[in-house]
Chain A
């Protein structure tokens, strides 16, 4: 079974600074996807970034980037130039290529302070 671990239940960062959220996972699969989702108070699940395991290049989306270390099974999210609107719960998730069900970590609550 796949497990996803987020070891930081809560984090905070000053506006305009950079923060990194950690995620590790355990799997015997070689083909899979990894995701970071943002959940603001509205409860909506918003895809932040997606990484395919066969791609060595780290995914980036504007201020969001990942550090994907396949051998170490690590998938951290870096948020640059943090904004107040980044305040939310962030979930790391894993999905095998062979099916489409996701396994989520417990989440990290990020607060951006003015």
Chain B
């Protein structure tokens, strides 16, 4: 079965370190997204991609970057982790028609 997987599921890192969260989907979807979930805010869009070599900023993109070198993967990089980036991160993919599939989430703690 097609799926979307995130790794790691949990990570603790130190302030100032570079961190990369992986997202891999086997749906062959062109559209991929990264969200962060914080109490009281629901899920907020960080970055998104509509295809290989395409990346776009979402509503909370400061301090984050993504790259899309193939259809399956959209890694999210925190260039210099800050305590404000402690959150749960979700990757998602979709192929039009509004049908979106989410990964299991990554809980990131910045200490």
A interface, size bucket: 20 to 34
Give the nearest-CB partner of A106 in chain B.
B42
Interface size of B in residues (CB-CB distance below 8 Å) = 23
Q: Mark B39-59, 1 if CB is under 8 A from A, else 0.
A: 011111100101000000010
**Which of B33, B41, B96, B102 is the one whose CB lies under 8 Å from A101?**
B33
Check if A103 is an interface residue, CB within 8 A of chain B.
yes
Contact, CB under 8 Å: A102 / B104: no
Interface of B is mostly: strand
Count CB-based A-B contacts (< 8 Å).
54
Check if A33 is an interface residue, CB within 8 A of chain B.
yes
Give the nearest-CB partner of B44 in chain A.
A104
CB-CB under 8 A from B99, the residues of chain A are 47, 50
CB-CB under 8 A from A104, the residues of chain B are 35, 42-44
**Which of B31, B43, B44, B90 is the one whose CB lies under 8 Å from A100?**
B31
Within 8 A of B (CB), among A29-53: 33, 35, 42-45, 47, 50, 52
CB-CB under 8 A from B92, the residues of chain A are 45, 102
CB-CB under 8 A from B44, the residues of chain A are 104
Residues of B within 8 A of A (CB): 31, 33, 35, 40-45, 48, 50, 58, 88, 90, 92, 94, 96, 98-100, 102, 104-105
Residues of A within 8 A of B (CB): 4, 6, 33, 35, 42-45, 47, 50, 52, 91, 93, 95, 99-107
